[in-house]
Chain A
């Protein structure tokens, strides 16, 4: 009942993760625009930018600036939660200084829209986003997927459970990175979806056969080396590893409709009714920028018809979840410590 209530509330707020299948190259909705077809950006624009993947977001900003010399773009960079906090505080004082909030994680976007600070994303722009990721108050830009990297020389893909909870009862040697932020968000999602007791049991069950690594790249590498049969990690570590070492013995499996295949998304909240801000968002959703994010950062593009990175499974069935809740790490950390996973 509690979960149903949470989902119902979140659905009303338009903050749910995707329901149903996320197709690898979904052609439903409006086609992604080419930057060549977009109007030039002219005038003053202030963007709050929650930090992102390496310097790639900076590269995108620089490229947009170079392409639009009459754009006076002011960027304020900081961790996304800090910027959300600032936006809320500024609004509380009756001030709106930013035109647009671009953040790497949905929880900070939800914090801002939850305070009523966003203006609706125009329907014409919304329809450019994959249908499963269309929200009224923010536009998804790119995503990160939880996966099960496995070693095909040790494990048959057909034998891998498609239920994340089943791993607690398996005999697989498992690699995980409990101190890693992405893993903690994943456990948070499990806690929200399955409840605290089941998550506790899962942690204790997996722990019996698990080896801890410092980060999730370490998980992917450990699987490839055969130190573990499989592991839990965000998708891009395995894809990057395979890019550098095509022969590495690691492939990706996905669970089905649970925390094990959660998609967390970066996105944009428009903070004013401002055509320039909307057009800037259109650049971020353009075929060129979306392809760049997929190509260079291995992110899942959210524009409807831009292909996901090579090597990602074709069909993804993420769970429904209030993405804004994933940032609530404190109860998760307490659980990880209680179970001595951390």
Chain B
């Protein structure tokens, strides 16, 4: 029990530090399946998979209480979890809710292996069911966002989702989204979008830009961190916020030109 508490503590610490769950291109077990790009079309599959996993875990807890040997079935449950499409979807689209599922599976295995009290095994099973359902909820949110036409991203946090477009184009799209949110009265969401875009996108390109035009970078830093959020904070008109976004887009166009130049000049690794 002590060991488990320590592990949970470490996880809690890292979760606290984890601002952005994931933007993955490929998974440990292979390329992302097409279904993860369109979770809405596969929601029935995910729901069935979760129902099966939950039923299996429930029967394990029930049979454990009836003094049956269930350790092999826990292993099979873990293997099943690794195979289902839901696993891949949650790993790529809602990563913050992915580790808790592993934690719950680990707890179930540990309680079984250690001949823990029936109630502890049941508690682990319920923890697993809750984690799976929470993950499903996150995927449903992702599906809603996809349907709305918003940028595909991790539902659980601000995400630097996998995206092959040039970073500057993504930044400009995100700024437009922030402006749209502001027009709709979603001020906090708009400010968060601006902050996330700066942290997850702009910081990734500023290194190359500094050598090309440090003034442009410092100007954009001020735009992202002060000018634009302050306009939103102070309740400026949507037109005024839009004018600021236009000004930033022009700077970003210049940035793209400079990045193209920097890429051309970059040396080879080997």
Contact = CB atoms under 8 A, between A and B. Distances in A.
Interface string A27-63: 0000000010000000000101001011110011001
Contact of A79 (B20, B28, B212, B217): B20
Contact of B210 (A95, A241, A289): A241
A214 B226 contact: yes
Interface in A103-162: 107-108, 111, 114-115
Interface string B35-69: 00000000000000000000000000000000000
B78 A85 contact: no
A86 B96 CA distance: 9
B213 to A, nearest CB: 7
A214 B221 CA distance: 6
Interface string A77-104: 1110110111011101111011000000
A221 B221 CA distance: 12
Contacts of A85: 11, 14-15, 18, 99
B13 interface: yes
Contact of B10 (A74, A115, A296): A115
Contacts, number: 168
A258 B29 CA distance: 43
Contacts of B78: 93-95
Interface stretch (B141-149, B184-192, B201-209, B246-254): B201-209
Contacts of B95: 78, 82, 86
B207 A297 contact: yes
Interface string B14-30: 11111111111111111
Nearest to A98: B28
A215 B216 CA distance: 13
A46 B28 contact: yes
B200 to A, nearest CB: 9
Contacts of A77: 22-25
A215 to B, nearest CB: 5
B102 A81 contact: no
Interface stretch (B168-176, B235-243, B261-269): B261-269
Interface stretch (B103-111, B114-122, B132-140): B103-111
A76 B267 contact: no
Contacts of B102: 86, 89-90, 92-93, 95
How many interface residues does chain A have, given as a range? Answer: 35 or more
B116 to A, nearest CB: 16
Contacts of A93: 78, 102-103, 105-106, 109
Contacts of A236: 207
A289 to B, nearest CB: 6
Interface in A189-234: 213-215, 217-218, 220-221
Interface residues of B, number: 59
B98 interface: yes
B225 interface: yes
Contacts of A314: none
A2 to B, nearest CB: 19
B269 A81 contact: no
A97 B28 contact: yes
B93 to A, nearest CB: 12
B30 A74 contact: yes
A240 interface: yes
A8 interface: no
A89 B27 contact: no
Contacts of B101: 89
A93 B221 CA distance: 42
Contacts of B205: 54
B86 interface: no
Contacts of A59: 266, 269
Contacts of A53: 207
Given A54-B205, A78-B22, A88-B10, A327 B17 contact: yes
B29 A97 contact: yes
B4 to A, nearest CB: 8
B225 A179 contact: yes
Nearest to B268: A63
A292 B269 contact: yes
Interface of A: 35, 46, 48, 51, 53-56, 59-60, 63-64, 67, 74-79, 81-82, 84-86, 88-90, 92-95, 97-98, 107-108, 111, 114-115, 179, 213-215, 217-218, 220-221, 236-237, 240-241, 243-245, 288-289, 292, 295-297, 327-330
12 contacts: A51-B204, A67-B270, A86-B99, A92-B7, A94-B78, A97-B29, A111-B10, A115-B7, A218-B218, A221-B215, A236-B207, A296-B267
Given A89-B101, A92-B103, A214-B222, 18 more contacts: A59-B266, A74-B26, A75-B26, A81-B17, A81-B18, A92-B102, A93-B78, A111-B13, A114-B10, A215-B218, A217-B217, A217-B218, A240-B214, A288-B269, A292-B267, A295-B267, A296-B267, A330-B16
